[in-house]
A and B are shown apart, each in its own frame.
Chain A
């Protein structure tokens, strides 16, 4: 995890305004009122902000639903309370112990629980919340059972106990602001970006070499620690705690207000805290109808404010000011060297004869169905291998098997001499095997730039991102949300993202799908240039013109087996391939009408078309890209 400020988003004007408003409001409270009731409410808001932020970190940012989060809050509160009242240790030691304990507990609970997906994770965390509640309620000797813990003291600063409610308020506000600041640092760092990527999809994250499980666990652990911290503050507030405050209902309500406040936004947690504490006060005037009113308000918020309150305000602000949120600081322009740096260091450039990827006797099946049957493939450094075949031939399955997305039934896969069959996806990707997906799996809600930054974070190559974007012509769209790109450009983005992950072997799954002629041509050019820098590519494609035009070698697959292998010319003319594609064996004379695409630079002198492999025969990289568009056969 990196907390470096590299590429940290600069505070925007709007964020600064929001911050100022909060600070002013916080400062106003002790000035405006001596009413202990209001001061207590304000203190609760501050505590709730920390609690809501902790949940926001794991749920809003990392997308892992934690319904029993109040359980950590409870453990923090009780640890603080029990240590304070039993052992007369003051506030600080018990509180810090509580924070440590809940952090560890977060790790212990998170490790098994985060393996579960979605709703099962929800139930498991709910279970945690219930168990904590029952233990608190029944463990009379330690927690006082349903009676609770009384006589909890307040922290002492410079020898004076903060008995005065306003003094305690100030203390809590300062602590809360510090916590919010730390969380702010976390979510705006590359760690935060990785979490948001995980929320979009764990598989693509793993395919870039990052272990999502580890990141999730880290987020969960930190989140638990902050919840425990808030719990300790709560214990001292009323100087009494009982199980009633930690019932699972409160967890569910916390979740609800966080969603309504604005999930995944920092201010959303503050809005959630305000909702949680102040909404009941507002509806109290309705007397007997107050709960009903509360429910209606909540329902109304979900129906009419789908982005949450904070999202709604942000949208309103955009419309009012008419401009997007601008950074306060001019974005620090990264100075790039103009010359393209090699993808692969020269030390890694091996002879073209050594094997980078070696697949032998590969068999992959689903149930009774054999998707890949006894398949072999070798890839050398700097080589571009095209993989063609009809739909269902097993091409994507091949990529999935090699990168660890589907299990291998039989066979050996070696990368750089080491066996990788059975290794977890992120480990394979970390070794340098990066893939793209047949249906793009971008991090939709992240910007174009952020998609690459996530991949680059592991390698510390964030400064490379601009160059990569330029490579695929997406530099101008860097701040756009990935979801706003048209289809063809998304594939290019995914390619750029894969490149940002420092691949040694790139497995591209139909990168040209949806591209028009010009774009395809550009893509081919990019691929050639990449190979020149020492990168190996396995290109799965239906666009025969592209494949045959850029590949050093082509492998044809059919029904999970290898049909043919060789130079593009050889493969295209092989009987097995023709049979698979066209059905019947045709005479040489008939072949002319099927019109395979040809390169205008090369005169076709014979009926058998020569397929110029730009790599194997020519030495210098081509200046112009001109792979003619294929006429599809």
Chain B
């Protein structure tokens, strides 16, 4: 054969090999053993005492923002989760099952979140995915976890569409936008005559804006102005000037990054005495620290009630482990989720493959987050976590969060 024909023949042969390989390869796609539908009757029929005789390890895959701005979103829950894992393992695990965590960075980028989820599911073969905080990332990740049949629990994502319609494997731990927005709207309308909004141009920001606009309408009111900023913005004076012209006395800040502190500083520099009403994204140490005193008096939603006993115990343990008190509720989310997983496990007699069903069977879970009355119950058509009684209004005094007094 002539050389050129030889080349072409090789190409054809190789292509055929590829096609054959794909056709003959096993249909099973994912590397995880969990399957979408219920396995046989394994755990069902046995009348043994649930978890008797079973043991093993629950592998948790954690995806969060561990670098870049807003890294506190990923680091804090992880810390709480690791604390919980350590405590539980030291106590012998849950019904003989120990825990382990593998973490991945999503760099606040949905595409990277997807890759991280893929890695956790295929390579690390985790039993459950915890993440992400940022709504856009969580959303993207569901494509992976739904396909793989691995439960995904987001500690903080608030975007409404995540649970509407309910995705079989996605669970929300925290509040959703609709509830947060409603609470914020009610509070703002009560305490301020005119309210404006400042939001970031991300899924988190946009989702919040949509929810807030709807919530205000439902209360028969309106935001006087809604100004946007990019995550790279370093000066918010134009936006704040607009808000001032609109007469805003209270400004809801839908931000998770440094721009919250920037708002406080710019307000001070402008001599504009509007008060910041913060989405829970502001409940982080960086806010008062970066604002250098300008954050005093800002109102922030937190999820920790320091009068609650469980909360005090948690704070003590956290301080013993990390040398400082948690600033707000973020670490508690990770902490609670691990316990939540433990409870889900016992719900299905420690059949790890049915963890999802175990989650749906959670009823009245109470953890560190929220007031005494706050609890989580899931169902097959309800994958939402906490409600309004986990939202506690606080204000910044001396750089710390204290209960709101008006």
Give the B-binding residues of A (Cβ under 8 A). 10-11, 16, 19-20, 23-24, 26-27, 30-31, 34-38, 40, 137-138, 140, 145-148, 150, 163-167, 169-170, 173-174, 177, 238-240, 242, 244-245, 291, 328-329
Contacts and interface: CB of A to CB of B under 8 A. Distances in A.
Given A16-B7, A24-B14, A329-B4, A240 B139 contact: yes
Nearest to B135: A147
Interface in B1-15: 2-4, 7, 10-11, 14-15
B213 interface: no
Interface stretch (B199-207, B241-249, B336-344): B199-207
In the complex, the 8 A-B pairs of residues with the closest C-beta atoms, listed nearest first:
A328-B3, A37-B122, A23-B14, A242-B110, A170-B22, A146-B203, A147-B203, A244-B109
Contact of A35 (B123, B144, B159): B123
A291 B31 CA distance: 28
A240 B110 contact: yes
Given A27-B17, A147-B159, A240-B143, A34 B31 contact: yes
Contacts of B123: 35, 37
Contact of B18 (A19, A30, A37): A30
A245 B19 contact: no
Contacts of B121: 36-37
A290 to B, nearest CB: 9
Contacts of A291: 67
Interface string B304-337: 0000000000000000000000000000000000
Given A37-B123, A40-B118, A148 B203 contact: yes
Interface residues on B, range: 35 or more
A166 B24 CA distance: 11
A30 B110 contact: no
A34 B140 contact: no
B372 interface: no
Given A23-B14, A35-B31, A238-B111, A147 B207 contact: yes
A150 B139 contact: yes
A140 B202 CA distance: 11
Interface of B is mostly: helix
Contact of B22 (A35, A138, A166): A166
A36 B110 contact: no
Contacts of B86: none
A146 B2 contact: no
Contacts of B397: none
A26 B161 CA distance: 38
Among B7, B17, B18, B27, residue most surrounded by chain A Cβ atoms (within 10 Å): B18
A19 B9 CA distance: 12
Nearest to B125: A35
B41 interface: no
A30 B3 CA distance: 28
Among A10, A27, A165, A177, residue most surrounded by chain B Cβ atoms (within 10 Å): A27
B3 A329 contact: yes
Contacts of A163: 29
Contacts of A30: 18, 21-22, 25
B206 A145 contact: yes
B109 A34 contact: no
Contacts of A31: 17, 21, 25
Contact of B7 (A137, A150, A328): A328
Given A137-B201, A148-B136, A166 B25 contact: yes
Interface in B163-203: 201-203
11 contacts: A11-B4, A34-B25, A137-B201, A146-B205, A146-B206, A147-B135, A150-B143, A163-B29, A244-B136, A328-B7, A329-B3
A26 B136 contact: no
Contacts of A147: 135-136, 139, 159, 161, 203, 206-207
Contacts of A20: 7, 10, 14
B197 to A, nearest CB: 15
Contacts of A173: 18
Contacts of A146: 136, 201-206
Contacts of A37: 31, 115, 118-119, 121-123
B28 A34 contact: yes
Contacts of B52: none
B207 A26 contact: no
Contacts of B135: 147
B406 to A, nearest CB: 35
Given A19-B7, A242-B203, A244-B111, A148 B119 contact: no
Given A150-B139, A238-B143, A245 B10 contact: no
A38 B123 CA distance: 9
A236 to B, nearest CB: 11
Contacts, number: 132
Contact of A36 (B17, B19, B118, B161): B118
A242 B22 contact: no
A27 B31 contact: no
Given A10-B4, A34-B29, 7 more contacts: A11-B4, A23-B14, A40-B118, A148-B140, A177-B15, A238-B140, A242-B136
B366 to A, nearest CB: 32
Interface string B85-111: 000000000000000000000001111
B354 to A, nearest CB: 22
Nearest to B19: A170
A37 B122 CA distance: 6
Nearest to A151: B143
A148 B118 CA distance: 19
Contacts of B29: 34, 36, 163-166
Contact of A238 (B18, B26, B114): B114
Contacts of A19: 7, 11
Nearest to B202: A146
B353 interface: no
Contacts of B28: 34
B382 interface: no
Interface in B117-159: 118-119, 121-123, 135-136, 139-140, 142-144, 148, 159
B375 interface: no
B101 to A, nearest CB: 15
Contacts of B26: 34
A477 B27 CA distance: 58
Contacts of A166: 22, 25, 29
Nearest to A165: B29
Contacts of B143: 150, 238-240
A30 B14 CA distance: 13
Contacts of A164: 27, 29
B18 A26 contact: yes
Among A11, A140, A148, residue most surrounded by chain B Cβ atoms (within 10 Å): A148
A170 B22 CA distance: 7
B30 interface: yes
B2 A329 contact: yes
A170 B18 contact: yes
A244 B18 contact: no
A14 to B, nearest CB: 12
Contact of A27 (B21, B30, B67, B110): B21
A163 B36 CA distance: 15
Contacts of B108: 244
B48 to A, nearest CB: 34
A35 B14 contact: no
Contacts of A35: 31, 122-123
A605 to B, nearest CB: 68
Contact of A138 (B2, B19, B109, B201): B201
Contacts of A40: 115, 118
B111 A174 contact: no
B60 to A, nearest CB: 18
A564 to B, nearest CB: 62
A388 to B, nearest CB: 54
A147 B207 CA distance: 8
Contacts of B19: 170
Contacts of B205: 146
Contacts of B21: 27, 30-31
B156 to A, nearest CB: 16
